[in-house]
Structure 1
Amino acid sequence: MTIRDRQELLSIKEKYQHQLANQLVTAVLVLDDSLTIQYLNPAAEALLSKSFNRTIGKNFFDIAYASSISSERLQQLLITGQEFSDADVRLDVKEIKPMSVEITASYVEFDKAPHVLLEFKQIDKQKQISAEAFQQQQWENARDLIRGLAHEIKNPLGGLRGAAQLLNKELNDTQKEYTAMIIEQSDRLTNLVDRLLGPNQLPNMSVQNIHLVLEKVSQLTSFNNPKGIKICRDYDPSIPEICFDEEKLQQAVLNIVSNAIQVIDADDTVTLKTRIASNQTINNQLVKMCVRISIIDTGPGIPPNIQDTLFYPMVSGRANGTGLGLSISQTLINQHSGKLSCVSYPGHTEFIILLPISEEGSP
């Protein structure tokens, strides 16, 4: 092989190495021995939300911070050449929201000088999908358990009520007070059990405008709003008509709004917001296009200790709450092949309903 051939091969190699680095979905940064950023690929620019020109020549720790990466640890890497990796690391980048990443730090040489190669892979989406799948499975298990118990309770309640009615015919007016109490409490427990069982009728689907339902919820809420809480609306008028059960969807949204109004203060607000959302994961399936309905309040937030079990029956953040409203809403949204989720912290609670938009106009 001639010198010219070797030079051409090196040129080809360098060209492809540069192009491949720019095409990687993994964020790649190169730091020199003073931990100054010498190179970052487009994926790293996207991860850090900073351009190449704004980042080159700056110390890495002036840009970002991760608990598993310290200046001392990177300097040790430069000395020993011993690479390290960490999974599920919180990465804090100035001016943007913290994220979860997998990190790999390696020793490399450029121009015969030691450098650090950092690779970041964002895993927030995978964590969210895994957490949602786990919560969905737990919710289904809890629902099935409670439904089984509810049926076991309901059957003897019917017999108890029937026996009280028969006994009532044999008693005088004074004694009938006791059987009336038995019948009344049996009816109350039967009503509670029916609510635990949740809606069992299949949805009556028809193509409609989603905003008509939200307007009806807003109107109904205004009739029962003693605190005078402001209901704001932020609609996307371009959203097409979709197929849903008007009564069931109205009930699902109304349960969420009613819960918010009971918890928040008079100077807080509730916002009904609609948008188009693309490439969403619903029940472990990728849905290309959805209607996203957000019910947002500016109240105190949901206690962290119940956020993972929020949609379970009998779980409530209010002292006098039954814990059935959100569970019923979850069931109703599931009947629409949709997804109901929640993000909450002090000052912001957002319930998110995703309803698929199919090519035929139905879920």
Structure 2
Amino acid sequence: MKTPLTLFAGLDLLTSAVIVLDAEGSILFANAAAENLLDSSFKSLTHLKLTDLFLNGQELTAVFHQAVAHQFADKRQDLTLERAGREPLHVHSIVTALDNPDTPVLIELRENVQQLKLDREERMLDQSKANKELIRNLAHEIKNPLGGIRGAAQLLELELPERHLRELREYTQVIIKEADRLQTLVDRLLAPHRLPHIVGDVNIHEVCERVRSLIVAEFPQGLSIKRDYDLSIPEFRGDKEQLIQTVLNIAHNAAQALSERIRQGDAVLTFKSRVVRQITLAKVRYRLALDLHIIDNGPGIPPEIRNRIFYPLVSGKEGGSGLGLTLAQTFVEQHMGVIECESRPGCTDFRILIPLP
């Protein structure tokens, strides 16, 4: 007689999570995908019941009992399943009644990728709004006393005794120059909120070519820039200068991260454009959207800052201001779009999505 382990062993080949239960709701089998999704080993799962898996599994349990009673062949629904101390699971569940009294119910759970994407975008939007508010408040708080410090240093310099002017003026000049440097930083922090949103017709490939010429001029040797364009992408209304700055900030960061590969002569930076259809951006559904990728074959973003790269003043390189990606995110959001990033050693992919007419 075949055991559930041998009977359902083929289910280990599936990428979706599958669990098989008896009539009492005890788990008899769980495939490898279920182990990954539920963060539990096969041995641990087979000591549990369906009711042990989730804090809010009443709806799934009710459907399970209906399947045991053969009230349907299979039933599908989208669920958000909560777990103690872990992220909720957004899944599409399929409960199937099997024609076997020993293993009467099979449940398949597929992660709802779209819901995960929406949740991630919502978190990014909330984070971006909080960042902007923090930047504005902090910049204004710094700006006012900064002017006073600079002015006081200038007045102090005028009052210095002539016999000590040269040696003491060195110190007042340090104060003035550092105040000017901080003023420049504050102006950069406030710039995205001050600049007018100049709207015109934008061809995204002209933007990419402009950035390409700037990168080639700075890195003429050892860096190959590939172009993979969909030339059917229509023009759209936007601020061309903002978009050039956005793509340049990302591409320049990538080129700097590729320094070792540039020395080796095998650095590659890729501009790739596509169109996506029926996509939701910032909770709004659009028929068409630009899908622009800026990809490099560098070492990847350090894991310790990977989830914070769009935060202001977070930088992965020594001496970096940590404002380039924050500005890029702000400019893309002003075009009703979103910016995402996936990174691993050998491939970092920044993706810009902007609605098209």
TM class by shorter chain equals 0.7 to 0.9
Q: 1:288 to 1:64 in 2, by over 3 A?
A: farther
Q: Which SS does the other structure have where 2:33 is aligned?
A: strand
Could you tell me how far 1:73 is from its partner in structure 2?
A: 5.9
Counterpart code for 1:356: P
Cα distance in 2 between the residues matched to 1:160 and 1:226: 43
Partner of 1:203: 197
Partner of 1:94: none
Paired residues of 1:33 and 1:115 also in contact (CA < 8 A): no
Please state if 1:188 is matched with 2:181.
yes
Q: Which SS does the other structure have where 1:150 is aligned?
A: helix
Q: 1:202 to 1:111 in 2, by over 3 A?
A: same
Counterpart code for 2:325: L
Paired residues of 2:16 and 2:108 also in contact (CA < 8 A): no
Could you tell me how far 1:212 is from its partner in structure 2?
A: 0.6
Q: Which SS does the other structure have where 1:239 is aligned?
A: coil
Could you tell me how far 1:208 is from its partner in structure 2?
A: 2.6
Please state if 1:65 is matched with 2:64.
no
Counterpart code for 2:157: N
Q: What RMSD in Å do the two structures reach over aligned CA positions?
A: 3.5
Q: What is the percent sequence identity of the aligned residues?
A: 39
Match of 1:159 among 148, 166, 178: 148
Please state if 1:318 is matched with 2:317.
yes
Cα distance in 1 between the residues matched to 2:153 and 2:47: 82
Counterpart code for 2:129: E
Paired residues of 1:281 and 1:287 also in contact (CA < 8 A): yes
Partner of 1:124: 113
Q: Normalised by the size of structure 1, how large is the TM-score? A: 0.71
Counterpart code for 2:34: A
Counterpart code for 1:244: G
Counterpart code for 1:201: L
Counterpart code for 2:270: T
**Residue deviations 1:288-322, cap 9 Å, x none?**
21111110011111122212211011111123222
- What are the within-5 Å matches in structure 2 for residues 245-264 of structure 1? 245-264=239-258
Partner of 1:285: 284
Q: 1:170 to 1:109 in 2, by over 3 A?
A: closer
Partner of 1:53: none
Counterpart code for 2:204: I
Paired residues of 2:310 and 2:325 also in contact (CA < 8 A): yes
Counterpart code for 2:181: R
Cα distance in 2 between the residues matched to 1:206 and 1:105: 48
Counterpart code for 1:183: I
Please state if 1:177 is matched with 2:176.
no
- What are the within-5 Å matches in structure 2 for residues 197-276 of structure 1? 197-199=190-192, 200-225=194-219, 228-264=222-258, 265-266=261-262, 267-276=266-275
Q: 1:342 to 1:106 in 2, by over 3 A?
A: closer
Counterpart code for 2:8: L
Could you tell me how far 1:70 is from its partner in structure 2?
A: 4.2
Q: 1:311 to 1:227 in 2, by over 3 A?
A: farther
**Residue deviations 1:77-126, cap 9 Å, x none?**
8xxxx96999489xxxxxxxxxx874868684527774432233332221
Paired residues of 1:88 and 1:123 also in contact (CA < 8 A): no
Cα distance in 2 between the residues matched to 1:289 and 1:351: 19
Moved more, 203-212 or 103-112: 103-112
Partner of 1:140: 129
Instruction: List gaps (5 residues or longer) in structure 1.
Output: 1-30, 39-44, 49-59, 90-99, 359-363
- The total of aligned residue pairs comes to 297
Paired residues of 1:32 and 1:116 also in contact (CA < 8 A): no
Cα distance in 2 between the residues matched to 1:324 and 1:251: 12
Cα distance in 2 between the residues matched to 1:181 and 1:75: 70
Paired residues of 2:15 and 2:33 also in contact (CA < 8 A): no
**Residue deviations 1:314-361, cap 9 Å, x none?**
111123222111111111111111111111111111111111113xxx
Paired residues of 1:86 and 1:104 also in contact (CA < 8 A): no
- What are the within-5 Å matches in structure 2 for residues 18-97 of structure 1? 34-35=7-8, 65-67=33-35, 68=38, 70=42, 87=81
Moved more, 146-155 or 254-263: 146-155
Q: Normalised by the size of structure 2, how large is the TM-score? A: 0.72
Paired residues of 2:254 and 2:269 also in contact (CA < 8 A): yes
Q: Which SS does the other structure have where 1:277 is aligned?
A: strand
Instruction: List gaps (5 residues or longer) in structure 2.
Output: 18-28, 50-60, 66-78, 84-88
